[in-house]
Amino acid sequence: MKDVILPILDRDFVENLIPQKFPFVMVDKLIDFRENEIVVGLTVPENNIFVKNSIFQESGLIEHMAQSVALYTGYQFYLKQQPAPVGYIGSIKSIEINQLPNLNEAIETTVTVLQEFMGVTLVDISSKLNGIEIAKGQMKTVLAN
């Protein structure tokens, strides 16, 4: 296991932990990691493909949530010194979005793993702005074979 000091604020390092690449990267920091939980961040940049009229759109927020799950898996593999696997959203049980972030606002998302079995991960996800929950949901992700 590698020694890493959290938080990891290096965008390039974080991007290497997930299969997505620019311009489709929706995470830029790994704030905290422990068994069955990760806290991920994104400061919404001007060049983000999901920003319209200075507002981060619903589709971008949902993709950020999914990539937060991918970062959990990718970081687990990094600690085992293995490359990050490709995965897919298997299902979205529910997503509630109460507010959309503006340009340059910092989203903080907590992913809590409810169940992990044979490459399928079921999670609860909560995204916050300034400590206030703006979105929550439940997703199932599947690793590619």
The pLDDT value recorded for residue 87 is 85
The pLDDT tens digits for 127-139 are: 999 999 999 999 9
State which amino acid sits at residue 108: E
Distance CA 25, CA 1 (A): 26
Structure pTM?
Answer: 0.93
List the domain boundaries for the chain: 11-143
Q: How far apart are CA 47 and CA 125, in angstroms?
A: 25
pLDDT in the model for residue 88: 86
Q: Give the confidence band of 2 by pLDDT, cuts at 50, 70, 90.
A: low
pLDDT at 3: 63
Which distant-in-sequence residues (6+ apart) come within 8 Å of 28 by Cβ?
9, 11, 14, 15, 41, 42, 43
| CATH, domain 11-143, list 3.40.640.10, 3.10.129.10, 3.10.440.10, 3.40.50.300 | 3.10.129.10
d(CA 118, CA 102): 38
Sign of CA dihedral 27, 17, 110, 113: positive
Contact between 95 and 117 under an 8 Å Cβ cutoff? The reply is no
Task: Write the pLDDT tens digit of every residue in 40-96.
Answer: 999 999 999 999 999 999 999 999 999 999 999 999 999 999 887 888 888 998 999
Of the spans 4-8, 89-93, 99-103, which averages the highest pLDDT?
A: 99-103
User: Distance between terminal CA atoms of the chain?
Assistant: 24
Band (144; pLDDT cuts 50, 70, 90)? confident
**DSSP assigned state of 9:** -
Q: What value does the mean pLDDT of the chain take?
A: 93
